[in-house]
């Protein structure tokens, strides 16, 4: 019985730790994306203060949507993302104005593309750094 309790406790703690690590990675990505967007759009301090809480809420919902529809129908995922963007556009519009509210999404796409390029380059570098495999 004690073993069962220890095993269950271990799995619960391991799951909690894994979730905390995922949240930490999400927070770092969110903060980098927010900084990237703020720099690209050229927000003032006042605009940044209005933008940040809206973006944090948007980012959390965006990541949840990506996770919920991962491996599913790509068109449904795209539809959910578009619905999310449409729902948040008025809030971004209040903080940034009409033109820059749409620019948030364009810069988000640029950030994701840049991040994917960096990831791909790092994978190539790792592959190039490996010694050649001798075949017999």
**What are the Cα distances from residue 39, in Å, to 49, 51, 120?**
14, 12, 24
pLDDT of residue 124: 87
In whole angstroms, what is the distance from residue 90 CA to residue 102 CA? 10
In whole angstroms, what is the distance from residue 104 CA to residue 39 CA? 11
* pLDDT per position as a tens digit, 38-73: 999 999 999 999 999 999 999 999 999 999 988 888
pLDDT of residue 58: 96
Q: In which residue ranges of the chain is pLDDT below 50? A: 4-6, 8, 10-11, 15-21
In whole angstroms, what is the distance from residue 44 CA to residue 50 CA? 10
pLDDT of residue 53: 95
pLDDT of residue 21: 45
In whole angstroms, what is the distance from residue 125 CA to residue 120 CA? 9
pLDDT of residue 16: 44
pLDDT of residue 71: 86
Give the pTM.
Answer: 0.72
pLDDT of residue 51: 95
């Amino acid at each position: 019985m004690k073993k069962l309790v220890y095993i269950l406790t271990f799995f619960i703690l391991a799951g909690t730790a894994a979730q905390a690590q995922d949240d930490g990675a999400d927070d770092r990505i969110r903060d980098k994306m927010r900084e990237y967007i703020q720099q690209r759009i050229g927000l003032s301090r006042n605009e940044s203060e209005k933008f940040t809480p809206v973006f944090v809420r948007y980012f959390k919902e965006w990541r949840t949507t990506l996770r919920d529809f991962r491996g599913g129908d790509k068109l449904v995922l795209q539809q959910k993302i578009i619905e999310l963007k449409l729902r948040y556009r008025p809030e971004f519009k209040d903080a940034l104005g009409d033109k820059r509210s749409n620019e948030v999404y364009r810069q988000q796409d640029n950030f994701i593309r840049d991040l994917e390029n960096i990831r791909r380059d790092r994978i190539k570098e790792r592959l190039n750094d490996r010694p050649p495999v001798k075949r017999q």
